Amino acid sequence: MKDLTQGKPGKQILIFAVPMLIGNLFHQLYNVVDSIVVGKYIGSIALASVGASFPILFTMSAMISGITIGASVLTSQYFGAKNFHNVKITSDTLQVFLLVSSIALSLIFFALSRPLFILLGIPPEVLPHAVRYFNIIILTTTIPSFAMFGMSAILRGVGNSKTPVYFVVASLVINMILDLVFVLVFGWGIDGVAWATAVASISSWLALWYHLNSNKENIIRFNLNYRKWEFDWTNFRLSLKIGLPSGVQQTLVGLGNLALLSIVSPFGVPVLAAYTAAGRVDMFVSMPAMNLAAALSSFAGQNLGANRLDRVKKGLNSTLVYSTIICLALTMVVVFFGSEIMGLFTDVSSPHYSEIIEIGREYLVIVTSFYVVFSTMFVINGVTRGAGATFIPMLITTLSLWVIRVPLAYFLSRHFGPTGIWWSIPMGWSVGLIGAFIYYKSGKWFHHRVKTT
């Protein structure tokens, strides 16, 4: 646990963000290695299959992760106000919700997997592999993944960004090793990749749960004895009020990714495989800004709970400087070495090798050139989210995604092919940044603080 209401704002945010960044960079590194193993040792069809599953998995978890954001905001503000009993109630309430929702959603999406992929227009040669991979993942990783979301959110709220990272990194290392063993040694193909993820996900969940409950000094515990859970409907409704707009926002992002996937898929296996591989790199580059924004949210929540608006403003300015410097550096690397990066994801003997390299390089050059726009938008939203003001950012996301990005992707793809789809992404970000900046300058977000006493 860490009190973020004391000390230099910029330094505290950076120190708090670094463990999360390391954990998420390892997570994206796993995604990259996973895609390299699939693309090089199984083939472009398998790579396209994994890529087809990702937007659905993201959409499924998006609404739930929004609720965890609400709980994390509540936790940070209660912790900043030293109201530890409500911290425990928030933790227990979130735990119950995540258990029920993970079971329900895993069964629903398992039943709907094939119709969903057909609806998205996945190429026939990709469809059976995508369905098989998706079904293994959905049945084995939903419960542990949701539980990890919850534990990480509550721990961030009390200023502990380090503990989850240790277990996430260990999990990802195990996952990468099992990828190689299951694919190269056992020859399980795409099934082996799915089972490697399942084993690693379950192991990390159980290990983190045991760690938290075996340490008597932790005020955050996730007890398996349901009789000791303190589920509180008032707390849950407050978490929903704060988190539901973020959940809707992330669900809209997930649905937007599905819409983009349906626009990309008709262009065939090479474009879909390139989109999958470039998307992995895309997520890797975006991680620093996203984690700095998450750290800023916890920082803002605690300081607003302690009524320290001056520190919130200083924290925002410092975070914008950090995110801009990091994004510019990563953008330069991707722009100058885009072809070499894409070459990691496909075997030179593949019949689609040259196409995948060129299409993926073009995507990376266009999209990553605008990451400063993306990072600035995300960081500004981090402040308003820390205050519990999530409804207006949801509306801004809806506008930038569904009024700008998706229609433009459809229209431009008809005239410029896949290149038009890539250009629609930074255009949507630009509109989102304008909306986020206007809302922040209005000051209305400040009045969404929770009563912590």
What average pLDDT does range 395-411 have in this prediction?
Answer: 88
Q: Which burial class, exposed, middle or buried, applies to 315 when counting CB atoms under 10 A from its CB (0-12, 13-18, 19+)?
A: buried
The single residue listed with the structure tokens 């075997």 is 347
Percent of the residues in the chain that have a pLDDT greater than 90, as a whole number:
17
User: Is a pLDDT exceeding 90 seen at residue 373?
Assistant: yes
| More confidently predicted of 251 and 410 | 410
Q: How confident is residue 356, by pLDDT bands cut at 50, 70 and 90? A: confident
Collapsing DSSP to helix, strand or coil, 347 comes out as coil
Question: Is residue 131 within 8 Å of 48, Cβ to Cβ?
Answer: no
Q: Are 161 and 76 in contact (CB under 8 A)?
A: no
Q: pLDDT at position 28, please?
A: 64
Average pLDDT over residues 436-445: 87
Closest CA to 80 of 314, 386, 313: 386
Q: What pLDDT, on a 0 to 100 scale, did the predictor assign at position 202?
A: 92
Quickly list H helices, 81-189: 84-119, 127-157, 163-180
Residue 67, C-beta contacts closer than 8 angstroms, at least 6 positions apart: 94, 97, 98, 239, 240, 243, 244, 247
- Two structure tokens written together for 151: 């534990």
Q: Where are the domains of the chain?
A: 9-448
What pLDDT is stored for residue 56 in this prediction?
80
**Lowest mean pLDDT: which of 28-32, 142-146, 235-239, 350-354?**
28-32
| Contact criterion met (CB below 8 Å) for 315 and 344 | no
- The tens digit of pLDDT for each residue in 10-47 reads 778 888 777 777 776 776 666 666 777 777 778 778 87
Give the Cα separation of 72 and 54 in Å (integer): 25
Residues 263-291 have pLDDT tens digits of 988 888 888 888 888 887 887 788 888 88
The whole-angstrom separation of Cα 89 and Cα 355 is: 54
Residue 173 sits at φ, ψ, to 5 deg, of -65, -45
Closest CA to 364 of 282, 436, 261: 282
